A and B are shown apart, each in its own frame.
Chain A
Amino acid sequence: MSETSRRGFIAVAGAGAAAGAVAATAGAAAGADPAHGGGLGGGGPVMVYIEDPAAGRLTVMSGDDEVDVTDKDLVGRILRAAGVR
């Protein structure tokens, strides 16, 4: 590689440096610090986990937290929506 090409290569590679930092993992940091539990509904996905359908209990997870809910009707509707019988 010629000297001109090498300088050009490094210049192109560093061109974005002046644009500032880009947060690559902002989503993970938001509300995920266990030292500051953000509670449910703090943004980000909400996950529902049904471990024992017969008990009618589901676990709702969001941020750093989870809450157990007993609702047989809701569990039934979720299972039907998932095609589970």
Chain B
Amino acid sequence: MSSHREAPEISKDPVADGTDVYAFVSPDKPSTVTLIANFIPLQKPDSGPNFFEFGDDVLYEIHVANSGRATPDISYQFRFSTRIRNPRTFLYNTGPIQNIGDVAWNRPQTYTVTQVARRGRQTTRKVLGTNLPCPPVNVGVRSTPDYPALARQAVRFLPGGKRVFAGQRADAFHVDLGSIFDLGALRPFNEAHLINMPEMNGRNSTQSFNVHSIALQVPIEQLTRTGRRPSGVGDPAATIGVWATASRQKSRVLDRKQARYVGVGPWKQVSRLANPLFNEVIVPMAEKDRWNIRPPSGDRQYQRYVYRPELAALLPQLYPGVFPRLAAYRKERADLHAILLTGIPAGVVDGFQNFTGPTPADMLRLNVAVPPTAEPNPLGLVAGDAAGFPNGRRVGDDVVTVELRAVAGLTIPLVDPSFTPDDAAAAVQDGTSNTNAPLLANFPYLGHPGGGYQTEPGTTSVGSERR
């Protein structure tokens, strides 16, 4: 969850809280792109009697921009519907769930996928699939004895060679939340921190937690503005912009007959996400809620926070003497502006570009002409692997390390060759790795969620002892 609970309002609405967006050329099917949007952060697997599910009253969307305006040219809309089979039991399941249609599963959820294509003033809607099943959550070894089989049954084909999955997955994002948000500390560098402590390994805060994922695999030619595969990396039509949103109806009223809130009115965006950590660590607290309800095409008003990121100013203060060159650098961060808001134009990185035009907009920018790497490097483009972040985002990309190093100055030479980064800029990290479930080699690529019975509680820490 690179963007879990990242703004005050959405932190109180987990069902609509986008946590991660991924966009990559499918490694096992390179004629397609996989788009993934995760929601509902920090799901404890052991969570009965009511488990996690998509909101029936939320409109989830994955957007694609391909015409250089940072507006959605294609949107995939997802609406969910839940039913209770047996209203007289308190149980989520009344026996082992052997298959996705098993009546023992008392609270099945299904969904509809609609494609909205916009070209000029014309908008075309097409329902791609209805009554598509989500798998149940991973309750435990008795209730969901063969969870991988249930998950496989939830992978469905859509017209035009597309595939879709919507359901619970293991969180693949890794980050030491406890340390990073404890005054910007990185445990491997504890001794250099202003409030120093013994160094130690990072702790992955998302270990053992699940999320809900919407995954869609689409042939490349259905996403480009030309309707064809690009001619090469330099093709202006090769890069698509991707982001995800969640919307709720403008008004809600408590319906006492149904004993729940009912939405009324037009759908309004309440959450959006593209680049990991953008609203988390770049947008100030007082602006985060407004950022969430605005479209990316209006992000020019936030570019000042990218040109002069607060975190870049904090690093030299939190780690005295470690980032002297970063501390002395007074120019605007054109490198971060390119990485996060416009894409990298041709000529900056040999053989690569993912420029989508001059409109500053927070989008993942995927150059679909860059083929998958046989042995992906989690550090992506900064480590010479152009198939990785910030060229889109793969599930295994270590975006925390990449963005930490970029903010620390590692990418300044791309735009200012006169600058030499501090040594620490190439070393800084939070010390975590993906210690959650292993990733899958095939769609939907995110690992199977942890089971409730199998989960062990974490440890708490009482008082103010330093560890």
By a beta-carbon cutoff of 8 Å, the part of chain A in contact with chain B is 10, 13-17, 19-25, 27-29, 32-35, 44-47, 49, 61-66
Q: Is the CB of B250 within 8 A of A66?
A: yes
Given contacts A24-B83, A28-B57, A32-B249, contact A44 B89 (CB under 8 A): no
Q: How far is the CA of A48 from the CA of B214 in the complex (A)?
A: 34
Contacts of A63 in B (CB 8 A): 264-265
Contact in complex: A47, B251 (CB < 8 Å): yes
A45–B265 CA distance with the chains assembled, in angstroms? 10
Interface of chain B, helix or strand or loop or mixed?
Answer: strand
The reply to whether A44 and B264 form a contact with Cβ atoms under 8 Å apart is yes
Can you list 22 pairs linking A and B with CB atoms under 8 Å apart? A14-B94, A14-B104, A16-B88, A17-B85, A19-B86, A24-B83, A28-B81, A28-B263, A29-B81, A34-B77, A34-B267, A35-B112, A35-B114, A35-B127, A44-B264, A47-B253, A47-B264, A61-B249, A61-B250, A61-B264, A63-B265, A65-B266
Task: Assess the A22–B125 pair: CB atoms within 8 A.
Answer: no
B61 closest partner in A (C-beta) = A34
B105, chain A: closest CB distance, angstroms: 10
A16 touches B114 (CB 8 A): no
With A32-B263, A64-B249 as contacts: A13 and B91 at CB distance below 8 Å: yes
Verify if B82 is at the interface (C-beta below 8 Å from A). Answer: yes
Q: Are A44 and B262 in contact (CB under 8 A)?
A: yes
What is the CB-to-nearest-CB distance from A33 to chain B, in angstroms, rounded to a whole number? 6
Which residues of chain B come closer than 8 Å to A49, judged between CB atoms?
A: 251
B50 at the interface (CB under 8 A from A): no
- Name the CB-closest residue of B to A14: B94
* A65 to B264 CA separation, bound complex (whole angstroms): 8
A61 touches which of B79, B112, B251 (Cβ 8 Å): B251
**How far, in Å, is B344 (CB) from chain A's closest CB?**
35
CB of B103 within 8 A of chain A?
A: yes
- B:210-247 near A, CB below 8 Å: 247
Q: How far is the CB of B390 from the nearest CB of chain A, in Å?
A: 31
CB of B59 within 8 A of chain A?
yes
Query: Smallest CB–CB gap between A27 and chain B, Å?
Result: 5
With A25-B81, A29-B56 as known contacts, state yes or no: A66 contacts B87, CB within 8 Å: no
Which B residues touch A20, using CB under 8 A? 85
**Residue B180 at the A interface, CB < 8 A?**
no
- Listed from nearest, the 5 A-B pairs whose CB atoms lie closest are A61-B265, A16-B86, A35-B114, A14-B94, A16-B88
> Known contacts A24-B82, A65-B265; can you find 7 more A-B pairs with CB under 8 A?
A17-B86, A22-B84, A22-B86, A23-B83, A34-B59, A44-B264, A46-B264
Q: Are A66 and B56 in contact (CB under 8 A)?
A: no
- Is B255 an interface position by the 8 A CB rule? yes
A25 CA to B262 CA, complexed, in Å: 10
B95 interface contact, C-beta 8 A: yes
Question: What separation, in Å, do the CA atoms of A32 and B114 have in the docked complex?
Answer: 14
B459 at the interface (CB under 8 A from A): no
Kindly list chain A residues whose C-beta atoms are within 8 Å of the C-beta of B464. Answer: none
Note all chain A residues with C-beta closer than 8 A to B263. Answer: 28, 32
Enumerate chain B residues within 8 angstroms of A47, measured Cβ to Cβ: 251, 253, 264-265
User: What are the residues of chain A within 8 A of B112 when measuring CB–CB?
Assistant: 33, 35
Complex Cα spacing A14 to B127, Å: 35
Report the Cα distance A14→B105, complex, angstroms: 10
Q: Residue of B at shortest CB range from A11?
A: B94
Contact status of A13 and B264, CB under 8 A, knowing A28-B57, A33-B79, A61-B250: no
- Is the C-beta of B258 less than 8 angstroms from some C-beta in chain A? yes
